[in-house]
Structure 1
Amino acid sequence: MPPSSGLRPPSTPNSNEAVTIGSARMAATAKSLPPPESKDAILTRRLVILSFWAIVLCLGLPVWWKTTAIYRADLPLQVMNDWAEGKTCRPVFPLRIAFEAPALPLQDAQHLLRTTQHALDDLNEFSAHHLRLMPAGSPVAANTSQHSQGMTVQDGVLHNKPDEDVAMLIRLVPGESGSTPRAELQSYSPTLEVYYTSNQIPSSSSTSSPLATFIAHELQKMFAEEQATLAYLLSTSSTAHNSKMKSLSPETASALERQSTRAFKYAPTYHLTFSLFSPTASPSEWEIESALQEYISPLLQSLSSISNFTVDTQVQLYATFSPSIHYPEFDAPSNSWTLRREDLSGFINAAEWPLSPSIGAGPTVNFVLYVPNPSQSPLLVKENGGNSWLVPQWGGVLILNPEPSHQNNGTAKILTQESLRPAMLTFSNQLFSLLGLPQTPSSLPLRLSTLKRVRAAALLFSASSTLGALARLTKALPSISIPDTVAKSVDQTIIHLHHACSDLRAGKFHGALEHARIAEAEAEKAFFERSMVGQVYFPDEHKVAVYLPLLGPVAVPLVLAALKELRSLRTRS
């Protein structure tokens, strides 16, 4: 049947028409693609990318590494650790004691010296501290007679010769009256006079003698506190295992610990401040300059071989009590006003009294003289009835209650030198305690020489410990810088530690103190170097936070371009 007149089937192109359409489409696609790169263009592009990477790797990274690298000077870490562990120096304290017996024949005097030395060695339990007797005419003790007068009172000032090697002089004096043997120690001279009779001299065949035993016991008793103090220092330091330790009783160790806690840390210079405080308008003046010249200056002169001192004074009127303490109470049986012991620590009104905690380079030692209101005089401590006390590592306080005969309309306007004498003597004793001066023996020169040896040992231990701490810090924190100044200070510390140890062994304690003082200062300078300590608190996370915003935009195009070229090379191959 013929198809309906209104509908016709779609026509299909023939083969010729299909070929024509395909060719047209291919021609359109070829026109939209870029022309193929030449080999020269590809090589140029790769050279550009390679040049950028060469600049980054050969120039950028070395410059960045050089400019941002942390400089660390070479430190002798093993040597520093050896000092800290006590392997380098075994401190010893040989005390040379001159022996003088002008009334004895030379042979008898030498035999007595040897017998006394044997008795001393038998009594000694501390190998690091030993006493060595020598004739007064020996080369080392050639200046014994001068040394025996090395600290005397001249023009009101104590003079000493710190560079002498002889610690003290024993002078045997024939005694015709009184009990013998007996010993008398000079107060202002390192001289022990021993009185004897002729029948007490040992014979040449005897190996012991009551006189030699007596002298040995006297010497052992005189230096017992020094031995205990040095043993305590060794026991609290890392060098204790290198010495035969002297056993200390718990009571002695506790007393030495309290003494070390009370005293100031050693400093080359101390600043002394003497202050007069009064709750009223009087006394408004005090003859402090003449009092200091009379009572304090001789002591400071005697201490000059150990530390230097500066002094200033001040007067503060209308000084009120600290509000943190209880008001003084009247005690009828003693007819006096009293302060409770627990209020002594808060007696100083730090908020209103002008007491600077530190003036200058060294620590400040405060001495407060408080004159109470006449209506509250006498003012005493309730528990013991005293009027003075010590504030550890700060200073001393004394309440001066004027005598009634010295009062005029209540309180004298001027405190004279004579009225200040008790206060100055008390302040002198407090100063000795704050500086760590031993309480025995009674001879001031011997106590000062003991302080010199103790300070030299303490500084040597402190500098050695600081070197060990610096070595541990250097190993634990590899990111901190170590400038050349630190290395130089460490070298100076080690040099002076060697000198200090050598001087201790040779009995040159003044030289040992000087070298130990320099070593401790250099060690502290190295440990607290500002440029080194500042980097301790700069973690690596901060570096990442700084570099990422700068390097990210530059690194991304370079990396993507390199990856694209590598992919292209892989495809072509």
Structure 2
Amino acid sequence: MASLLMKNHSTTPVSQDTHSHSIGAALTFIVILLGIGVPVWWNTTTVQRAYLPLEELSNMVTLSENDQRFHILFKTTEDASVLVKKLQNDLSESEELSSYNFSIVPYPLNPKEVNILLSQNSIDAIDVGFEELSENNLLDGLSIVQVPSHYLPSGKVYIGRHNFLYISEETNFKSFCSMLASILSTYNLHENSIANLPISNQYNVLLTFATSNLNMVHPSLVSMFEENFAAFSKKFRHVSDLSISSQVVYIGNGHIGADYSTDNNAFILNEEKVVSLINILEPRLGNQLSSDPTFHWVLYVPHEEQSPMYIFKSSSPITTNSVLSPRWNGGGLQIVNGIEHSFAGLALCQLRNALGVFSLQNIEDSYVSLDYDESGVHAWELYLLTRRRTIQFLNQAMITLKSLSQLLEQIGNIVVSEEIKDLVVTSVKMVDAARRAIQNGNLQQAYRDAKVANVCAEKAFFDPSLLALLYFPEDQKYAIYIPLFLPIGIPVLLSLRSVYMHFLKR
């Protein structure tokens, strides 16, 4: 009996110690799991999201064209302020100009300009002299120059190659309003234009000479195109860079489905059949040249057995002997039967349209525009295009930033790195800087800032790191974490119950 009591007394402390050790082990496990494991898991699985001014991005407001105010200089040898006041009052009453936001600023001619005005004998020569003084700065802005009456027959208005508009005391007010409205209207033409190339900092121009015989591509034809496009590219670089390249494509025996017409003594290719020729050429045009927008223009030299060849629409020939292809970003195909300088002019004209450079429509012959130089584009045309593109770049950047803001608010799994944050912050700063430059009339700075803002916004939005978890649904988290935490969570909950009961008994 005594030995049995001794045995009971000896096991009771051991049982208590074992229970205490199990409680202690449970507490230790719980502390390690909740105090170390959960925080480490939380920190390692939390999506990295650098701070972005999402509210500022979502509140961005796009600009309209009227937010840009045109400051047109009025240059004269007389009292400019008096003439400007009269001219501004007269122009404000014109219905043609009522939708444009512009002001006339007096600016007296400097001695060098006066010397050119008095020493030259024609508007053409005066325009060349003024252009040399401006040092080819295409973004100076428009200037109205009052010249002696004998330079302008019948009081007509002359439009120079640079940024100068020429009037005299005998200039008809209606003609002047019509001319100014025509110029400013090219600023708004993009709304209903057929321009196919999107706005970009870099473009590719690919000239293709298609033939079945090497001897059919005359070297002068190639050089003629390259010279014309090189001059245009040199002047257009103030807006965007153009990369000009050419190639020769050989297409089998050169025979295509053209019908011979005895009445025209030529081969006739219906406009519908040109599609088959385009389909043959398209795989060879180098569409993978680069990621930049590419303008294609194809010159097809028909086989000598099918020459001459003309494109007909219905029963009448197409004057330019060419067709446009929407798939070629506003480019097209032209059939060449001989070496003519008009070929290069047609291709250059279509490139202008594709880039958004629009020509004046002087239906009433109310003004005279000086002939184009070898570049094929006037400075004031590029000036208006630059103003338009400044607004387009800014709006595109703001739309991209707002889309990014909405995307990040809707999908919480997307990682936002410091690099993306820097791009977004830079884009926002450049948008604000461009807005200030527009208000101050500094078009060059506004255009540069707008381009940087758009580039940074595009890089941020299309960054590969943003796309990694773009299509990762929230419910997928449960499929990953439940098998991980459920086997651990049940014993932890039971241990918590045991610990609670242990301290409750005590």
Aligned equivalents of 1:281, 1:316: Cα separation in 2: 9
Is the 8 Å Cα contact of residues 144 and 167 (structure 2) preserved in structure 1? no
Match of 2:158 among 181, 184, 204: 184
SS at match of 2:203: strand
Aligned equivalents of 1:341, 1:137: Cα separation in 2: 55
**1:498 aligned partner:** 432
Aligned equivalents of 1:553, 1:351: Cα separation in 2: 65
> What is the identity, as a one-letter code, of the residue corresponding to 2:210?
F
> What is the identity, as a one-letter code, of the residue corresponding to 1:462?
Q
Match of 1:225 among 161, 178, 186: 186
Is the 8 Å Cα contact of residues 330 and 337 (structure 1) preserved in structure 2? yes
Moved more, 275-284 or 71-80: 275-284
Deviation at 1:53, TM superposition (A): 0.6
Aligned equivalents of 1:159, 1:320: Cα separation in 2: 52
Aligned ranges for residues 354-369 of structure 1 at < 5 Å?
354-369=284-299
Tell me: CA distance 1:278–1:514, structure 2 relative to 1, closer, same or farther (3 Å): same
Deviation at 1:508, TM superposition (A): 2.3
**1:174 aligned partner:** 149
Aligned equivalents of 1:39, 1:148: Cα separation in 2: 109
Tell me: CA distance 1:489–1:478, structure 2 relative to 1, closer, same or farther (3 Å): same
> What is the identity, as a one-letter code, of the residue corresponding to 2:496?
A
SS at match of 2:317: coil
Aligned equivalents of 1:458, 1:431: Cα separation in 2: 19
Deviations 1:42-62, CA, capped at 9 Å, x for gaps: 222111001001001010000
1:64 aligns with 2:35: no
Identity of aligned residues (%): 22
Tell me: CA distance 1:500–1:538, structure 2 relative to 1, closer, same or farther (3 Å): same
> What is the identity, as a one-letter code, of the residue corresponding to 2:179?
E
Deviation at 1:116, TM superposition (A): 1.1
Match of 1:100 among 75, 99, 108: 75
Match of 1:81 among 40, 58, 63: 58
Is the 8 Å Cα contact of residues 75 and 487 (structure 1) preserved in structure 2? yes
Aligned equivalents of 2:235, 2:396: Cα separation in 1: 25
SS at match of 1:536: coil
Is the 8 Å Cα contact of residues 217 and 301 (structure 2) preserved in structure 1? no
**2:208 aligned partner:** 275
> What is the identity, as a one-letter code, of the residue corresponding to 1:465?
I
**2:120 aligned partner:** none
Match of 1:130 among 102, 107, 118: 102
Match of 1:43 among 12, 20, 38: 20
**1:438 aligned partner:** 358
Deviations 1:344-364, CA, capped at 9 Å, x for gaps: 455323577421213234222
Aligned ranges for residues 319-468 of structure 1 at < 5 Å?
319=252, 327-345=257-275, 347-349=277-279, 353-383=283-313, 384-386=316-318, 387-392=321-326, 393=329, 395-402=331-338, 419=339, 421-440=341-360, 442=369, 444-468=378-402
Moved more, 514-523 or 539-548: 539-548
SS at match of 2:209: strand
Is the 8 Å Cα contact of residues 321 and 348 (structure 1) preserved in structure 2? no
Deviation at 1:394, TM superposition (A): 5.1
> What is the identity, as a one-letter code, of the residue corresponding to 1:397?
L
Tell me: CA distance 1:514–1:471, structure 2 relative to 1, closer, same or farther (3 Å): same
**2:243 aligned partner:** 310
Tell me: CA distance 1:356–1:480, structure 2 relative to 1, closer, same or farther (3 Å): same
Deviations 1:37-93, CA, capped at 9 Å, x for gaps: 54332222111001001001010000000000011122112221222456xx98622
Runs of 5+ in structure 1 lacking a partner?
Answer: 1-22, 198-209, 233-255, 403-418
Aligned ranges for residues 472-487 of structure 1 at < 5 Å?
472-487=406-421
SS at match of 2:279: coil
Is the 8 Å Cα contact of residues 98 and 134 (structure 1) preserved in structure 2? yes
Deviations 1:304-329, CA, capped at 9 Å, x for gaps: 1001122222112235789xxx9223
Is the 8 Å Cα contact of residues 27 and 499 (structure 2) preserved in structure 1? no
Deviation at 1:524, TM superposition (A): 0.8
Deviation at 1:35, TM superposition (A): 6.3
Is the 8 Å Cα contact of residues 91 and 128 (structure 1) preserved in structure 2? yes
Aligned equivalents of 1:225, 1:504: Cα separation in 2: 19
Deviation at 1:159, TM superposition (A): 7.5
Deviations 1:491-535, CA, capped at 9 Å, x for gaps: 111111112222222332222221111111111111112111221
**1:240 aligned partner:** none
**2:167 aligned partner:** 194
Is the 8 Å Cα contact of residues 150 and 161 (structure 1) preserved in structure 2? no
Runs of 5+ in structure 2 lacking a partner?
Answer: 118-125, 362-368, 371-377
Aligned equivalents of 2:445, 2:330: Cα separation in 1: 29
SS at match of 2:147: strand
**1:5 aligned partner:** none
Aligned equivalents of 1:96, 1:218: Cα separation in 2: 17
TM-score of the superposition, structure 1-length normalised? Answer: 0.73
Deviations 1:79-129, CA, capped at 9 Å, x for gaps: 21222456xx98622223332333xxx34x543322111112222655663
The number of residue pairs the alignment matches comes to 470
SS at match of 2:148: strand
> What is the identity, as a one-letter code, of the residue corresponding to 1:81?
S
Tell me: CA distance 1:349–1:548, structure 2 relative to 1, closer, same or farther (3 Å): same
Is the 8 Å Cα contact of residues 337 and 378 (structure 1) preserved in structure 2? yes
SS at match of 1:98: strand
TM-score of the superposition, structure 2-length normalised? Answer: 0.82
